[in-house]
Homo-oligomer: A and B are copies of this chain.
Amino acid sequence: MPSQTFAGSLSSPKVDVVVDTGNPLLNHTVDGFLKIGTVAVAKTLVEETYHVVQRGSLSKHNLEDALKKMCKEGAYWGAVAGLYVGMEYGVERVRGTRDWKNAMVAGAVTGAIVSAVTNSKGDKVVMDAITGGAVATGVEIIKYLT
């Protein structure tokens, strides 16, 4: 009986593109965009590979589709992460301290902006801002737990 196994190895990607724009806030944003964009591209690549293995066939159309998805997801995750990292850096500069409240403010602002750009409805934006702030605060706390 032919059986299908899904095995793969993933070597640590070493991505270290550093773009110096001369502005520290912009540098943080670009850094976040590139690094998290890479993670999203890798994620989409794994997803598409899984689909191909499951179907057992690969066509030119699938490849084009996968490439398009990689660009789209990479740009989206990268933009959100860049916004967040830049925002946290900005809040830290303004407040002059580093604590979980920076993460909360940056998360809330990022949530509000992303929500406003994609949905643009009054109440939904406020809810997404609250969720963004809570998620960022949670992640900040998990940092110290792990």
Contact = CB atoms under 8 A, between A and B. Distances in A.
Interface of A: 12, 28, 31-32, 35-36, 39-40, 42-43, 46-47, 50, 54, 77, 81, 84-85, 88-89, 99-101, 103, 123, 126-127, 130-131, 133-134, 137-139, 141-143, 145-146
Nearest to A51: B123
B101 A131 contact: no
20 contacts: A12-B99, A12-B101, A28-B145, A32-B142, A35-B145, A39-B137, A40-B134, A42-B134, A43-B130, A43-B133, A43-B134, A47-B127, A47-B130, A50-B126, A54-B123, A77-B138, A85-B145, A88-B146, A89-B146, A143-B143
A138 B85 contact: no
| Copy count, this protein chain | 2
A77 to B, nearest CB: 7
Contacts of A50: 126, 130
Nearest to A134: B43
Given A12-B101, A47-B127, A50-B126, A39 B134 contact: yes
Contact of A142 (B40, B84, B123, B131): B84
Chain B CB count within 10 A is highest, among A12, A36, A123, A145, for: A145
B143 A81 contact: no
Given A89-B146, A146-B88, A141 B36 contact: yes
